[in-house]
Structure formats: C-alpha cells, structure tokens
Amino acid sequence: MENNKGKKAAYFTLGCKLNFAETSSIGQELKAAGIRTVRQGEIADVCVINTCSVTEVADQKCRQAIHRLVRNHPGALVVVTGCYAQLNPEQVGHIDGVHLVLGTEQKGHIAEYVLDYLERMPEERCVLPLLSEVVRTADIRTFVPSCSCGDRTRYFLKVQDGCDYYCTYCTIPKARGRSRNGSIASLVEQARGVAARGGHEIVITGVNIGDFGKSTGERFIDLLGALDAVEGIDRYRISSIEPDLLTDDVITFCARSRAFMPHFHIPLQCGSDEVLRLMHRHYDTALFEEKITRIRSLMPDAFIGVDVIVGSRGETEELFRQSLSFMQRIPVSQYHVFSYSERPGTMALKIPHVVRTEEKHARSQKVIALSERLLTSFYERFVGQVRPVLIEHSRKAGCVHGFTDNYIRVEIPCGQTMPDNVILPVRLGNWNATHDALMGTVEQCGCKHGDDE
C-alpha cells in the first residue's frame, strides 16, 4: 500500500446501473490500497474503463472512451473490463495504450491485477505487455458483490447478475453469464452498511432481478422483505424487472411495504404478440397488461416506466401499428425508446424481415411523442400535492433537485442553507423553465430530516 501512496485512478463507466455499482466497488478497493480517485485536471496513474455492449453504438462509445482516456492520461496503466471486453477482447487488446483486458469473471479481482501490475511497472510509464484474461461464457460463475457509494445520494446495490433467458436480440447472457446472486444475509449486510454511511435510498440492480435466488435457493420476495426491515433505509427502488417475474405477490408487497417506492420499470420491448414471440420473450401483451392493471389498482400514483425496442427484425408495418395501439392503451407513465440494433451472433439475425433505418427512426419518433404526452400528463396530475422528496446535490446554482416517492423530478429554489440527503415534504408546482422537473416548495411541518434525527 505504501508504494501506491499518492497514486491516482480515473474511472469511466458506460451502460447500466450495474456497471456503475461495480465500478464504484473497484474504486473502493483501490482506495483501500492507497490509490485515490483522480481530481479534475490531474493525470491518472491508472485508468479503469467499465464497458457496455448493448448496441453497436455502445461498442463505438467504448472505443472512443478508451482512446480518450489513453490520450488524456499518458503513461497510465489502462484497464478495460465489462461486457464489451468480455465479448470482443481482441478488438479491445488491439487498441493502442491498453494494458489489461479483463472479462466478467475477472471483474471482482481488478484491484489485485492493478496492484500486481503497478508493482512490476517501471517508474512513471506503463510499458508492460498486454495481458488479456477473459474466460468462456460458460465459465463465468462468480457473483461479485457491488454497491455504489459516496458518489450519489442514491446507492445502487447489485443483488443479481447474469441471465438465463435467451431473447433473440440480446447479447447480455453471453457477456454476463448464467443467473446468479448474492445471499439475502450478505445483501442485508450491505444495506446496513449504506444506512451506517447515512444513505437513505437504495436502488436494487441486476441483469434479471426477478430471477434472484437461483444460486442460493432463496426467493426474491424474501429478499424484499429482509431489505424492507433494514433500519435507516427509507427508500428502495427496483431498477427493472421482467413482467413475467413481477409476480402478484411482489406487487402486493411493494404496495404494503414500508420503504419500497411506488415506482416500477418494466421492459415490454414490443406491444405485438407476434414480435414478442420472435424475440423469445417469456410473456404476451395480455400478461403485461394484467401486471400494469394490478399495479394501478393497488398503487394509483405509481410511476411506471416501460422499455420498448422499435424496428426489430420481424416488426412489419402492421405489427408496429398493433404495437403502438397497445402502447397507447395501457396506463403507463413513460416509454424508454430504443432503436433495434443488430448484434453479431444473435438469433435475431435469422429473422428475415429487416426494418430500414429511416423507418426505425420514424417509428421511434412516434413512440417518443406518445411518451412525452404520457409523462407530461403524469407529472401534471400531481401539481398542488405535497410529496416526500429526497434532496440531492444540485448541479444548478440557487436550487436543489430531488425525486418524489413516485419518481417525479422536482426543482426547489433555495438559498445556501438547504441541506442535501434529507427527505422533505414538498408541494409540487408548475413546470420549471427547462420543462424537465416540477418546481417545488418545502412545507414546514412533519419533515423527515434523515441526517438530523
């Protein structure tokens, strides 16, 4: 550790919340070994890039990020990990300036690799040869516990990794391996750790969270119950859950629980049963609608965000029309729209009907317009109401931001004294100037000052 004193590391994360949680854990381990995070303008001794490979664009962004970090931190030890590194280790290894390519199985040991490299590295410049360690997908077994900490008001706790579903358009199971998870006892321990550090909100993350329990013989609903009982954590959100795994018990539990927020994120992917079948999804539109209806009946104010892939192979004009009409009918709050991206090695490439790029764009625009209307009317339903808001650090001078229990973004004008990381009752007003939040004013009584109690 002494040898590393004064050394600095730069981190760059692409992709999902899981990756952010994992990078944060890598940062904590290096910090424990004496390597602090680089400050703005400083040259790092180590660069860690945690990549994503969900689309062709994501791959491209990863390559750009690697080039940028190599350029900005001359002489640094450059480590690339994550899904792009797992799926394309040779491509990554050929990028000038990359020293370590570590796959998914090695992610939990990055600090060890870095420390070993630094020990062998001559002073000032990393000139050691490339080391690439990436195992086959079938050999990815380890569950690496991760929890992002300190860098946000909200903490991201990884509870599950990998996926046993094989949706025809998706490469994630190849990059992340089979479904596996941490034990309930270990995750509760991590949640207690967050509470001890003053955290109030945890987002539970994973690749296919509803599949939790496969490797420990436990049940997702029991995990939720155990987390709900952790003192000091006032809010949990489930980052995303497959509709077929969002059981009625889980919905009922969230409606009655102490700390699980009325907030759901559910991938629909397409509102046409024919396309869902081509995608090898595990549900049809009837099941999806049933889940939304159940959430709405128990939690009428819940925010429901829904992922949709537009223009996938097999989505003919007629099937898109059916899909859009389904999306217009179900009472959700927002659609997250993704344009279908061809991924090498996926089964979707065998589906003959291909949607032209311009047509994909036109379809995306239609769903985005629908989503904007839905989000506007969802927000406006709550104008005038008082809701609890977790106050976050502000990026704008003269105001703070936060989210209500049901995930409405709020902007609160304030002086110097407004504390962050506290939950306050806030009356919601009209839209802010940039139309991305409602203006709010803090109500004086009944506050829950997390830090002050």
Per CB under 6 A, residues contacting ligand SF4 are 163, 165-167, 170, 172-173, 207-208, 242
Nearer to ligand SF4, 86 or 208 (CB): 208
CB 211 to ligand SF4: min, Å: 8
405 in Cβ contact with 262 (< 8 Å):
yes
Between residues 18 and 78, which has the closer beta carbon with respect to ligand SF4?
18
Q: Give the angle subtended at the CA of 171 by the CAs of 165 and 177, to the nearest 5°.
A: 60
CB of residue 214 vs ligand SF4: minimum separation in angstroms?
13
- Cα separation, 132 vs 199, whole angstroms: 37
| Nearest residue (CB) to ligand SF4, 69 versus 175 | 175
Residue 229: Cβ within 10 Å count: 13
Q: Minimum distance between the CB of residue 176 and ligand SF4, rounded to whole angstroms?
A: 8
Q: How far is the CB of 161 from ligand SF4 (least distance, A)?
A: 11
Please identify, using beta-carbon distances, which residue of 33 and 268 lies nearer to ligand SF4.
268
For strands 423-431 and 438-442, give the pairing. antiparallel
In the complex, least distance from residue 121 CB atom to ligand SF4, rounded to whole angstroms? 37
SS3 411: strand
Nearer to ligand SF4, 276 or 304 (CB): 276
Q: How far apart are CA 171 and CA 50, in angstroms?
A: 17
Minimum distance from residue 172 beta carbon to ligand SF4 (Å): 4
Edge-to-edge strand ranges of the sheet holding 235-238: 154-158, 201-205, 235-238
Q: Which residue, 86 or 404, has its beta carbon nearer to ligand SF4?
A: 86
Token match 């945690």: residue?
50
263-269 and 201-205 beta bridge pairing: unpaired
Shortest gap between Cβ of 271 and ligand SF4 (angstroms)?
16
Residue number, 204 or 233, with CB nearest to ligand SF4: 204
* Residue number, 173 or 402, with CB nearest to ligand SF4: 173
Question: Of the two residues 79 and 85, which places its CB atom closer to ligand SF4 in the complex?
Answer: 85
Contacts of 403 (CB under 8 A, 6+ apart): 389, 390, 392, 409, 410
Q: How many residues belong to the chain?
A: 453
Q: How far is the CB of 162 from ligand SF4 (least distance, A)?
A: 9
Q: What minimum distance in Å lies between the beta carbon of 23 and ligand SF4?
A: 19
The whole-angstrom separation of Cα 323 and Cα 271 is 4
**Alpha carbons 105 and 82: distance in angstroms, whole number:** 10
Place of tokens 């209307």: 373
Q: Count CA atoms within 13 Å of residue 157 on its CB side.
A: 29
Helices 110-120 and 17-32 pack at an angle, to 10 degrees, of 40
What does the alpha-carbon distance between residue 90 and residue 103 come to, in Å, rounded to a whole number? 12
Other Cβ atoms less than 10 A from the Cβ of 300: the count is: 11
